Amino acid sequence: MRIVIAGGHGQIALRLERLLSVRGHEVAGIIRRPEQGDDLRIAGAEPVLMDLESASVEQVAAVLQGADGVVFAAGAGPGSGTERKETVDRRAAMLVAEAAERAGARRFLVVSSMGADSGHAGDEVFDAYLRAKGAADEYVRGRTGLDWTILRPGMLTNDAGTGLVRLEAETGRGPVPRDDVAAVLAELVDTPATAGLTLELIGGSVPVAVAVRAIAGN
């Protein structure tokens, strides 16, 4: 399959690109800066230069034409303010979802966040982030032309992945290595029966493939 990852230079995205490439998929990653391209090539992905904060839906749809799946893994990052939570975490996610629908790329995965909620209260930057992610998730769930799955990891760590997770509609809070988030995403790409599910993910005791198969179709 051809899989396009929005936010292709992110920490989870680079891990996912390696995994998908090893599985034999054709992978492309949307990046903002040309100097990021070599990292994607090393990971086995084709870099596509595009700024999702200024691109039109037609431009994004052209990139997604012929894709079998799309993963939205872009984020403004922890050092950004509330404005970029709005332009990246909400608007860019909505843009890519609409573009995927126009391009006929039905399989659509979102890397969201545990606690994402458009009605989340609070004035801190992280509160704005959770509202933006929640609003984007709601928008994606309303796109009837997409077979979407929303993944909401717990606290992300750079610990080595264990391959053991807890993947459920509600898990409670907990940490999860980025390695394992990428492994779950790779498995979800290949498991269309998880379409229509919003899932939480933390470290656990169940092998990734088993956890994804168990939740598929629920």
Give catalytic residues, as residue numbers.
129
Angstrom CA distances, 8 to 104, 164, 212, stand at 21, 25, 23
Residue 124 DSSP class: S
Which one, of 155, 217, 215, 151, lies nearest residue 183 by Cα? 151
The tokens describing 126, both together, are 């992280």
Residue 193 DSSP class: G
Contacts of 2 (CB under 8 A, 6+ apart): 25, 26, 27, 28, 66, 67, 68, 69
The tokens describing 124, both together, are 């801190």
Where residue 66 falls (left for φ over 0; alpha for ψ -120 to 50; beta otherwise) is left
